[in-house]
Structure 1
């Protein structure tokens, strides 16, 4: 079985204040501990079978 799964979600806690960006930057580097409290999806398939 070949599958393609795409998930997306919006996390309002990731709205980063504009003042964290320096002029001309398209990104901001976050400290590693920021990710400790970030929700991470754990998808599963209902009624799945293991072979």
Structure 2
């Protein structure tokens, strides 16, 4: 019998890069409100340090960074029922 493939094992590493637009949704009942007439509030991204956020991570990531722009490209929206939309 003859070998079709070489007897040496060939190992290859494939790297790839992904740019994503990430949106997270969660409910924090502590942020629910009824006094304001609008269904949602768009808050300044500086408020992000004042609220709880899920600890999101990508398992087995090789590296990560944020796109550098002149202004923060983030959205923080809170709904009357305490739902939070965070977009980065």
Q: Give your verdict on TM over 0.5.
A: no
TM-score by length of 1: 0.45
Pick the structure with more strand per residue. Answer: 2
Indicate the structure whose relative CO is greater, using CA pairs within 8 Å and at least 6 residues apart: 2
| Higher Rg | 2
Pick the structure with more helix per residue. Answer: 1
